[in-house]
Chain A
Amino acid sequence: AQKVTQAQTEISVVEKEDVTLDCVYETRDTTYYLFWYKQPPSGELVFLIRRNSFDEQNEISGRYSWNFQKSTSSFNFTITASQVVDSAVYFCALSEDQYGGSQGNLIFGKGTKLSVKP
């Protein structure tokens, strides 16, 4: 069975601190996709990143970076120099490969609520 675990329910940091959000996944598939979405108070899920299981390169995008480690089934997300606007709920999600690269539905973790205080 597929599962995504985000063990941190809530994290509170002070602006300019670095923060890492943990994500651990379970799947029996050898081909799968991992995602991070941000859900600000307005409620709309905003796509941040997608990774396929064959691409273990870490990625950096501005203040955001992602660390994908298949050996520990983890896909962690770090925000460097956090800002108040980063306050949101962040979801990690997993999708299996249906057939030759076609994605299935997303399986989400329960989310981590990040509060960045000024």
Chain B
Amino acid sequence: DTGVSQNPRHKITKRGQNVTFRCDPISEHNRLYWYRQTLGQGPEFLTYFQNEAQLEKSRLLSDRFSAERPKGSFSTLEIQRTEQGDSAMYLCASSLDFGGQTDTQYFGPGTRLTVL
């Protein structure tokens, strides 16, 4: 039983470039969450999916950010025209929602983004 995986683990990019991160959740989990964590802070919620439907987006998710989960399995998070303020750890988590009861969120190792 593998956990949540994220790729790449590290990404260095220049300001203005686009970047895309991938998250593979625990196989039977139907919910997938994205969080962002900056240095010295707790993770902050960005968005989440139930199967392929994106059900909630935070105000932190500006127009430059887009997330998809096309087949209800893996998800991608794209940041367009990156800015230095986007430098952070991007965390993915998954959980199982069954009959209105949601299990615990389990996190992946994160993708650390550095924008130069």
Contact-residue bracket for chain B: 20 to 34
Return the contact of B45 from the options A102, A106, A111 (Cβ within 8 A). A106
Task: Give chain A residues whose Cβ lies under 8 Å from the Cβ of B48.
Answer: 105
Task: Mark each residue of chain B from 38 to 62: 1 if its CB lies under 8 Å from any CB of chain A, else 0.
Answer: 0011111100100000001010000
B95 touches A44 (CB 8 A): no
B100 at the interface (CB under 8 A from A): yes
Task: Mark each residue of chain A from 81 to 118: 1 if its CB lies under 8 Å from any CB of chain B, else 0.
Answer: 00000000001010000011111111111110000000
Given A50-B104, A101-B101, A103-B102, A108–B109 Cβ distance below 8 Å?
Answer: no
B43 touches A43 (CB 8 A): no
Q: How many A-B residue pairs have CB under 8 A?
A: 61
Given A101-B100, A102-B97, A105-B33, A42–B42 Cβ distance below 8 Å?
Answer: no
In angstroms, how far is the closest chain B Cβ from the Cβ of A26? 15
B91 at the interface (CB under 8 A from A): yes
Return the contact of A44 from the options B40, B101, B108 (Cβ within 8 A). B108
B43 touches A45 (CB 8 A): yes
In angstroms, how far is the closest chain A Cβ from the Cβ of B37? 8
B104 touches A35 (CB 8 A): yes
B41 touches A110 (CB 8 A): yes
A105 touches B104 (CB 8 A): no
Return the contact of A107 from the options B45, B106, B109 (Cβ within 8 A). B45
Give the CA-CA distance A91 to B56 in the complex, in Å.
23
B74 at the interface (CB under 8 A from A): no
Return the contact of B100 from the options A4, A102, A105 (Cβ within 8 A). A102
A105 touches B109 (CB 8 A): no
In angstroms, how far is the closest chain B Cβ from the Cβ of A96? 11
Return the contact of B91 from the options A45, A46, A99, A107 (Cβ within 8 A). A45
In angstroms, how far is the closest chain A Cβ from the Cβ of B30? 11
B101 touches A102 (CB 8 A): yes
Give the CA-CA distance A57 to B107 in the complex, in Å.
26
Task: Mark each residue of chain B from 8 to 43: 1 if its CB lies under 8 Å from any CB of chain A, else 0.
Answer: 000000000000000000000000010100001111
